[in-house]
Structure 1
């Protein structure tokens, strides 16, 4: 059972000089704040912040982070305010708690709200990484107690955990949290596959462990001869990693030979290579299965030597070799480099490890599409990486699937703009060639070369996509500036002094105030319908007013040019019915006849369906998209209500047209 004494023992185990009185004070404050509140498990609510603080203490984090873990729900779930925290605790603690509270929950929100909450989380992470440590600890304990939620909530939260939180823990190198989050999510998303794998591994484990012990004994005997002190153990692979390998390689459990790996920890780096030499002398190495993550560390700071050898009885065995410090980093990642001493601070040498995050957020200023943000997040922040070399031997890290164009923009924007050709390992390759780790890349530039729109079809990184789009945007602005004055003589600057009569555009039922002679169309990015709050934007050079929802994600970009904004409203006069195209996106549990049932539900409202699509995604889910013809917001609400009642539907929202 978790209690304050257990938490304090854990903190003292790694930080004897911790301010224990401050931790006790925070616990008492949280206890009083949550008094009378119960979790769905029928436990007092205070057990949750205690567990969050304990998980943070297992990561050996500093006292302010432990205190913030105890208080992380006190502002959001009680009557307390940030000011109350500032009066009782240090500003540092209050800022951490506010940072966690501002993130909001990702689950059970619309796609736009979900994206915004993830943006907030990444921004908070860039400012103070400890905020995300708290969020990960919070999510881990919530996953451990997920059994008490209803089935739909379990699926939504587990899917989000696998999609966002586990990859985030991986990117930060916190292996122990990543593995547990993945296994817990897998258990809820694919319970049958999880149970079958659990039974299979349990059955095979005694024999596997006996075999691994045999290999360890042989290794220890040889290492003792050359006097290398080691700590050797057999590490069971995690269920989700085994499941992924089975799915990706279409293999059964009996065909997965590395259910257990041998882990060798030593004192220093030279001993790592000494152990490798012994292992390769003792057992035959499998070609292509050696990886040196010491010479070329992963982006999440993971370092080790990995090799797979042919062990006794001709069976393959994976061996992982690290120093003790590398092992700690593999378990705790970025958290291992946070000084836990009172008054300690972030080690600046490791602050640069979060550079990927700041770069991503900077590049995203040029990306305003919700779905695109999520796709590029998974590529730039969460995807596997490749390491390639410049002609001078410098290492560049890029997402897997990157091309020479991505490499060029990673070197410098101007090099990207003027890329004419590329050489990989001394040979000319197509610009869409996908780079592999170890490739030596040389970019050939020409002052006459400029970006091609085709590049957007295959570049991978946000930086490359953003810079290419910006280049074309700037060209359009340059071309448009020559006729701006004659085509758009600033018509609505005069609207407050000399308002023009209202002009009704019956074709789509919108009234524009103060502007004559312009046609109207509904923006496809947000597809507004009657009763939505709308705003008009006069497009450059086309003489058209584009109608946007006031919550359109593109709006902040449009507001960069406020002179083009004009007042618009829906025309409520009686007349011939007008229909509007609306795109809907939903997430559902995959099952037979799902799409047919959803189409039937929509049709029962007498709504016209223009298009429908469905695709299976990871975790046994299906993502569906529909375009329907709607008269107004009320009619849209009826359609959504009907869809939500279809068995298996988890969430639905209006989406941007692609």
Structure 2
């Protein structure tokens, strides 16, 4: 059974003083009835032992009152926010109590408490809090902006209270979160004063020696620093008063944290930091004269002191995205020291110090995007309202187009709204995506079609038998996943195609039928396929009957080897086709390797033997240093080897033949009717073979012709020669 919470005398006195202070600061914000209901609720919770001291041994009720004090005085929260702070401790672990809260204190209070509890659920997933994604998730997940503001106030209060705690481990964790998470959040929302306090306190607890070293140095130099500030501002004060401006000035020393960061960045000691302070000039200016008077001050100061144009910052014309407005200049002051001067109005200064709370008070502040669009909607509503209660009407929806989800290890990933488990799987790894069968979301099994929601913790489930399918492209949202799915499907098609091709060749071999690439290409086109992959895919999955396909293949093969005339027969005497002016293309696609070492050597193919890819070749080093490639059976080869053996080098083809090589074939045969048509018909049906010219001479019933064609390699050439030899009447084919 939980130990009952007892109050010390000091705690009681502190509670009474804070309640009195809240009543004064709230200006009647909390009604007597509200106070009675809160006391009644807390009393019941205490009697049921629902409220216990935290890990630091602190009283939760006192802490919540201190947090409420900060939220009211530093941020500007009102009735619903304060009541949520005071009630949250008693309902944090009680699911049924939210209905009671809504009934007794209103829906807004219940909504804020629900948001606070949701944030605590995120923490249980061990998130990596240093990431920008986690900060964005908090802003999106909280739903109500007051949840984030309360979290910041609570962390500021906790950091103030844990100074003397003995629980060092918890103190370090709280301080790290303050530095990595809460200070950046406070900065994002414009709460610069609280942001600076969080940073300084976290440095104090995490790097004790550095903090106190800088603090001591600041104390040592305070007297001389104050004297310099007075010397600098005295003439400025005089000039501004002469101009009739209402203002006040103050010197602002940099925070200890910012000095420490600068020391680390510049890799120097304290003495190496020259801009330890800035002068702030705050104008009491009418709204319509704000910019004019700020620029007037700018002109006065730059006339007195030399400005550094590189260090000027104009957030007056274009405010920062969180509404910050100010004019910053750096000038060369007395003793040749650079001094930063900040020029702003009372309104701008309050915005800078209090952030959102000041935004709500003043209308018409410029914004840019995201958070600022949300703030603009608040300001627009303020134009039709008289007080700050309008805040109660707004929810946070800053990241409506994005969702943030956790990995099992607590890393956060960002996805577009509508992304699914499959998107998550492919983000992890292509192999995980290809074998994904579903996931466990918050320990609940779901399909891979499940649409991710903010804060989901996703654990992917896979199966070795799972394969990507075409309809997966329509399930995923991200282009990255779509491209990976298409790539995986293409790879599968290639593998299935290779298997089907191997099976097809084996079946042909069993029937003692030759496998002819050219005939297969014709078969694929005849069956209506544009790609060989599609043909083999259908064969692999059974859409094509293999036996029937083989029969069709035999017909194509017979037709290719015994082609009937497709045009009126003509005698060889009547035929003469030449295209001698057309260029014969050569390519450097084939990489020639000589002696296994040299690549990309300047070489040419010898015209005496016309070598092509696949021929046995050797290289011959010419006088100018280039290399000519000859076939080993070149007519000139014996003489070259005999007389210039020292200039002969071994050569081999590297890679795969893709270039077109010009080959001349000498054909001798009977001058039968239609023989030329049959020869040209065979060549025209061959893929990647192009006829360049044909010259036929007929005499005494015989024809002799030279046929010039472009081929890729010797295997294609041998196939062509084999088919040409089967033409009726062809007696001899010689490669020249």
TM-score relative to the length of structure 2? 0.48
Distance 1:321 1:135, change over 3 A: same
2:99 to 64, 83, 89: 83
**CA distance in structure 2 between the partners assigned to 1:71 and 1:108 by the alignment:** 22
Structure showing greater Rg = 2
Distance 1:541 1:134, change over 3 A: closer
Aligned to 1:255: 272
What are the superposed Cα offsets for residues 409-445 of structure 1, whole Å, 9 maximum, x if unpaired? xxxxxxxxxxxxxxxxxxxxxxxxxxxxxxxxxxxxx
- Verify: 1:16 aligned to 2:27, yes or no: yes
Q: CA deviation at 1:173?
A: 0.6
**CA distance in structure 1 between the partners assigned to 2:41 and 2:342 by the alignment:** 43
Aligned to 1:54: 69
Alignment of 1:447-596 (within 5 A): 536=463, 539-541=466-468
- Verify: 1:245 aligned to 2:262, yes or no: yes
Q: CA deviation at 1:134?
A: 0.7
- SS in structure 2 opposite 1:94? helix
- Verify: 1:164 aligned to 2:181, yes or no: yes
Q: CA deviation at 1:321?
A: 1.2
- Verify: 1:135 aligned to 2:151, yes or no: yes
Aligned to 2:245: 228
Aligned to 2:192: 175
1:264 to 281, 285, 304: 281
Q: CA deviation at 1:17?
A: 5.0
Higher relative contact order (CA 8 A, sep 6+): 1
Aligned to 1:282: 304
- Verify: 1:292 aligned to 2:314, yes or no: yes
Cα pair 1:290 1:308 within 8 Å, conserved: yes
**CA distance in structure 1 between the partners assigned to 2:96 and 2:205 by the alignment:** 34
- SS in structure 2 opposite 1:319? strand
Aligned to 1:513: none
Aligned to 2:329: 307
Q: CA deviation at 1:369?
A: 5.5
- Verify: 1:186 aligned to 2:203, yes or no: yes
Aligned to 1:317: 339
What are the superposed Cα offsets for residues 310-364 of structure 1, whole Å, 9 maximum, x if unpaired? 1112111111111111111111212323469xxxx97625589x99x85646234
Q: CA deviation at 1:121?
A: 2.4
1:103 to 119, 142, 153: 119
Aligned to 1:208: 225
What are the superposed Cα offsets for residues 380-415 of structure 1, whole Å, 9 maximum, x if unpaired? xxxxxxxxxxxxxxxxxxxxxxxxxxxxxxxxxxxx
Q: CA deviation at 1:368?
A: 6.5
What are the superposed Cα offsets for residues 119-161 of structure 1, whole Å, 9 maximum, x if unpaired? 7622244x32111111111111111122325222222221122
- Verify: 1:155 aligned to 2:166, yes or no: no
- SS in structure 1 opposite 2:205? helix
Instruction: Figure out how many residues of one structure are paired with residues of the other and give that number.
Output: 403
Cα pair 1:74 1:80 within 8 Å, conserved: no
Distance 1:302 1:71, change over 3 A: same
Cα pair 2:203 2:257 within 8 Å, conserved: yes
1:335 to 357, 361, 366: 357
**CA distance in structure 1 between the partners assigned to 2:129 and 2:282 by the alignment:** 45
**CA distance in structure 2 between the partners assigned to 1:275 and 1:290 by the alignment:** 14
Which segments of 5 or more consecutive residues in structure 2 lack a partner in the other structure?
1-12, 363-373, 382-390, 438-456, 471-477, 486-736
Q: CA deviation at 1:243?
A: 0.6
2:377 to 341, 348, 352: 348
**CA distance in structure 2 between the partners assigned to 1:3 and 1:332 by the alignment:** 25
Distance 1:23 1:289, change over 3 A: farther
Cα pair 1:112 1:370 within 8 Å, conserved: no
**CA distance in structure 2 between the partners assigned to 1:186 and 1:328 by the alignment:** 26
Which segments of 5 or more consecutive residues in structure 1 lack a partner in the other structure?
377-461, 478-486, 493-525, 544-553, 562-658
**CA distance in structure 1 between the partners assigned to 2:271 and 2:380 by the alignment:** 43
1:25 to 31, 36, 39: 36
Distance 1:114 1:277, change over 3 A: closer
Aligned to 1:67: 83
